[in-house]
Structure 1
C-alpha cells in the first residue's frame, strides 16, 4: 500500500492523451444522443473503407506475427529472459491472467454462437467445395473457422512480438510502458515522446475501450434476458441498467485493488471455475462428440491453415467475420502487450510465446468445442432446437438454450455457472484494461487509484448510455475503424522483436560466459601475461 501511495504522489499524468482519449467518448455519446443516424452513417462509411483497404493487410500482419513468434520461440533466442531474473507470478496464475484478460465475455458469447453460425451457413471457403450447411459434413469446417478466429493468429498478435519490444524498451532502454514505445525502432526516442507517440497512445486507448465497451453492453442484454427467463424479471432497459451498474461497481473495485489483490485473484478463480464447468459439460453432455470433433476440426484447420488464413474469395463474408475479428484483436494488441509485459517480468521469450501463442489458443479452441459443439450436437439431433432462438433472439438466447440441453444437471444451476463465467471473464478484461489504460496516461507501473476508477466507471457509463440510445452496434463497428492506425503501429514489431531477441541473447550469453570464469583463473592469466610483458 505504501508503494501505491508514493507512486500516486509522484505520478505525472499526460493530460493531452487523457483528455483527448476520454473526451472522445464523451463527444461520441453526445453526438449519438443528438443524431444517432448521422453517427451510424459516418461509422458505417469508415467501417466499409477500413475493410476495403486494410482487410487483406490485417490477414498478412497476423499471419506473419505468428510465424515470426514461433520461429523465435523454437530458436536459441527463446532462452532470453526479459525484465528480470525470476518470474514475479506463478505460472498458473500468470497464464490465467493472460487468458481471462483477452477472452472477456466475448469468448463465452462467441463460443456458443460462432460454431453454430458457421455450421448453419457454411463459410465461403468451404461452400465452394460442396459442403452442405447444417449437416454432419459441415461440423469440421465450422470448427476450423472458429479455431482460426480464436486461435494461434489471434493470440499471437496480442502478446508476442509487441510484448518483446515493449519489455526491452521499458526494462533496458527505460522507455515508458506505453504503446508509443512500439515506435522506438522507427522514430527513436525523440519520436516516442513527440506527437506521433501521443497519437499511438490515444488511438490504442480508443481501440481497446471500444472493444471492451461493446461486450459490457452485451452483458447487460445477456443477464437481463436470463433474469426474465429464470426469475420472471422483465427484460427492460432498467433491468439492463441495473446489471451494468452492478457489474461496473464490481470490476471497478478489483481494478482499484490492483494486480495481486484484485485482478490476479479474480482471474485465478475464473480460470479454475472454467475448467470445472468445461469438465461438467464434457461428462454430462456429448463428451465423445466434442472430443472427436475437436481433434478432427483441428485436422481440417491445420490442413487448410494457410489457405483459410489468406482466403480473399468473398469480401462481404470476410468483412463480417475474419476482417472484423482481426481488427478487434489488433485494436487490443498494444494494450494487451503492455498488460502481458507488466505481468511477465522474469519470463523467457519461449515461455511468453508458448503461453500466449500456443497454450492459450489451444485451450480457447477446446472451450469453443465444448460449448459450440454441444449446440451443434443437439441441433443435428433435432434441427431448429438451437438455430431458431439463435436466428430470432441472437447470441444471448442461443447460449442459454445450449446450456438447458445438457442433461442430469438442473439447467438453472449450469446457467448460473455460465453466466458467472461471462461476468468473471469480462470483469477481468474490464479491470485489466482500465489498469493498463491508466498506466498509459500516467507512465507508471502502479497508476493512481482514481485514474483506474475513472476508466472503469467511464466504460460502464458509456455502455449504459449507448444501450439506451441503441448505439452499441455503432461502437462495435467503430472497433474496426480504430484498428487502422493501431495496425500500422504494430508493423515495426515484425523486425524489431527478432533484432531485440538477438541483441539480448548476445548480451546475456556474454554475461554468463564472463561470470562463469572463476576469479582465481582470471588472476592467474593476468599474472602470466604481466610476466611475459616484463620479460
Structure 2
C-alpha cells in the first residue's frame, strides 16, 4: 500500500466518517470532563492537577531534559550524515516554496508562547537570576545570563524535539510504507501493524491530541486576557469577560477560516503575513531602538548560551530551587514534548520534497537562531529600559503578570502606542497560526490522511475556542490549571516519541537507500 492508496472520504459520506471514533470519544470526553469537573469544583481540579504537576516535574523532569538533549544531537547527526540527502515524501521538488515553508514552520512552532514570553521572560531572569548563574540580579553583568536562560528554554532543544526525528519517522512510514499520518505511526517501526490498526493506536492518538488541546487552549485563553488588558490600556476599552469573548470570537473566526481553506491558501497566507509583520517590527526595533546595546547583548548572550549550554540543560531540582525548575525549565520542556507528535505530523505534511538535511537544519538550527534574535529584540529592549529606570517590572513579573510585562515593554519601544498595538496584532496572528495548524493536524490525526474534511478542521478549532471561553468565564486561573495539565500529558507522549531516537536515523537511512543515495 502506498500513500496514494490510503482511504479518503467519499462524496456524500458523513463528516464524522472521516474521524477515528476512539480519538473522538476520548478527546471530546476529556474536554467535557475537564470543563464539567471545573464547573462542579474548580478548587479540587486545581489541587488534583497541581499535585500531578508537582510529581511529574520532580520525578520525570530529568528524563524530559535528557530526551530533549538526545533528540537534538541525534537529529543534527542524522541531518549532516549521508542519509540527510534523502527527500521527504517521494517528490523531486518541494511542494511548498522556501519562504512560505519557513514561515509556516516559524509561526506554528514558535507560536503564541514565544511571543507571550519574548518580552517578559528575559526581564524576569534579569531581576531574578537563574540558578545556573551567580551574578548580581538587575546588574549589567546579569544581562547576558538572563537572555541565555531564555535561549535555553526556546532554543535548539525546544525546536529539535518538535519536528526533527519524529517528522522523519512519520514521513517514511506514511509516504513510503502507506501508514496513516497519525502519532500512532511513530510506534509502527517498534510495534508493527497492531498498534496502527488496533484500538491501542486510537488511544495513542487521543493522548497526543489531548496534550495539544491542553497546550493550545492555554495560549488562546491567555491571548484573550492579554488583548483585553491591552485594549483597555491603549484605547480605553472595557477590560472584562465581554471583551475577552469578543477577542475569542474574532480569533476563532480567523483561524477556523484559515484551517478550512487548507495548507495552500489560508494557513500559508496567514503565516506569510505574520512573518512579514514580525520582520517589520524587528527592523523598527533594531534601527530606532538601542541598536548598539542589542547587538552587543546578542553576541554576549549567545556566547553565554553556548558556553553554559550543558549546565543549564542538565540542571535539576537537586541543584536548583524546586519551584524554579517546575515553573520554568521542566514546564517548558514538557510543553514542547506534549506538542511534538502533532507538530511532527504538520512538519511532515508541509515538507514534502525537502531533504532530511534541509528540514532538520531549518527546524533545529535556523529557527532557534531566529527565535533568539526575536527574544533579544523584545526582551533585550525590556532589559535595557529596566536597567535604565524607564520602568520597573519586578513586582509584575514576580506575580507572573506577563501581559503587563509585554505591554509595558511594547509601549517603551520606538513608536510607543502604535508599536504596542502592532505587537498585540502580531501576538493575535501568532496564536491564530497555532490554532489553524493544530486544527488541521488534529483533523489529519482523526482522518489518517493528508486532506481531512474542512468541517472537521473547523470543529476542532471551534471546540478549543469554546473551551477557552468557558474556562475564562470561571476565571483565568482555570486556564493556568489546564496549562499545568500538559506537563502530565507529557508522560505518555514522551514514551511515544522516545523510540524516534533510534527509529529516526534508521528511517533516514532507509529513505536514502530507497532513493539510491546509500
- TM-score, normalised on structure 2? 0.94
Whole-Å separation in 1 of the counterparts to 2:82 and 2:109: 29
1:358-399: per-residue Cα shift (whole Å, max 9, x none)? 110000110000000000001111174343444468111111
Q: Distance in 1 between the 2:86 and 2:250 partners? A: 44
Whether 2:221 is the aligned partner of 1:217: answer: yes
Task: Give the corresponding residue for 1:196.
Answer: 200
1:8–1:22 CA distance, 2 compared to 1 (3 A): farther
Asked whether the equivalents of residues 86 and 517 of structure 2 are also in contact (C-alpha less than 8 Å), the reply is no
SS in 2 for 1:124: coil
8 and 300 in structure 1: CA distance in 2 versus 1, 3 angstrom threshold = farther
Is 1:149–1:322's contact at 8 Å kept on the other side of the alignment?
Answer: yes
Unaligned regions of 5+ residues in structure 2, if any? Answer: 1-7
Identify which range, 164-173 or 461-470, moves more after superposition. 461-470
Deviation at 1:510, TM superposition (A): 6.3
Which deviations, in whole Å up to 9, do the C-alpha atoms of 1:209-249 show, x marking residues without a partner?
11110011111111101111122122111111111112111
Q: Please give the alpha-carbon distance, in whole angstroms, between the structure 2 residues aligned to 1:110 and 1:510.
A: 43
Deviation for aligned residue 1:9: 4.3
- Correspondence 1:401 to 2:408: yes
Deviation of residue 442 (structure 1)? 1.2
Match of 1:318 among 316, 320, 325: 325
**Residue 60 of structure 2: aligned partner:** 54
Runs of 4 or more off by more than 4 Å in structure 1? 4-11
Structure 2: distance between partners of 1:406 and 1:197: 49
- Aligned-residue offset at 1:193: 1.9
- Look up the match of 2:29: 23
- Name the stretch that deviates more: 497-506 or 250-259: 497-506
Question: SS state of the match for residue 347, structure 1?
Answer: coil
Give 1:192 deviation, angstroms.
2.1
Q: Which residue of 1 aligns with 2:461?
A: 456
Q: 1:164 aligns with which of 162, 168, 179?
A: 168
1:161-310 aligned at under 5 Å gives the runs 161-310=165-314
CA contact under 8 A between 1:7 and 1:447: conserved in structure 2?
no
Contact 2:83/2:517 (<8 A) preserved = no
Measured after TM superposition, the shift of residue 412 of structure 1 is 2.1
Structure 1 unpaired stretches of 5+: 512-535
Inter-partner Cα distance in structure 1 for 2:308 and 2:382: 24
Query: Residue 510 and residue 161 in structure 1: after superposition, are their counterparts in 2 closer, same or farther (change >3 A)?
Result: closer
User: How big is the shift at 1:404?
Assistant: 1.4
What is the match of residue 4 of structure 2? Answer: none
> Which shows bigger deviation, 85-94 or 310-319?
310-319
Aligned to 1:496: 503
What is the rounded CA distance, in whole Å, between the counterparts of 1:217 and 1:57 in structure 2?
Answer: 29
242-251 vs 293-302, greater mean Cα deviation: 242-251
Aligned to 1:423: 428
Q: Report the CA distance shift for 1:392/1:200 in structure 2 as closer, same or farther (over 3 A).
A: closer
Mapped to 1, the partners of 2:228 and 2:499 lie a distance apart of 44
Partner of 2:5: none
Q: Say if 1:8 and 1:448, in contact at 8 Å, map to a contact too.
A: no
Say which is worse superposed, 246-255 or 156-165, in terms of deviation: 246-255
**Which whole-Å CA distance do the structure 2 matches of 1:178 and 1:184 have between them?**
10
Offset at residue 159 of structure 1 (A): 0.4
Q: Hey, what's the Cα distance between the residues in 2 that align with 1:237 and 1:70?
A: 46
1:476 equivalent in alignment to 2:480: no
Q: Secondary structure, in 3 states, of the residue corresponding to 2:133?
A: helix
Give me the whole-angstrom Cα distance separating, in 2, the residues matched to 1:431 and 1:376. 33
> Which segment is superposed worse, 391-400 or 497-506?
391-400
Q: Given the alignment of the two structures, is residue 136 of structure 1 paired with residue 140 of structure 2, yes or no?
A: yes
8 Å contact from structure 2 (residues 255, 432) kept in 1: yes
Query: Matches of 1:487 and 1:467 in 2, distance apart?
Result: 29
Task: Kindly indicate whether residue 369 of structure 2 is the aligned counterpart of residue 365 of structure 1.
Answer: no
Seen in structure 2, the aligned counterparts of structure 1 residues 189 and 235 have a Cα distance that, compared at 3 Å, is same
Residue in 1 aligned with 2:155?
Answer: 151
Distance 1:392 1:481 in 2: 23
Q: Which has the larger radius of gyration?
A: 1
Q: Which residue does the alignment assign to 1:97?
A: 104
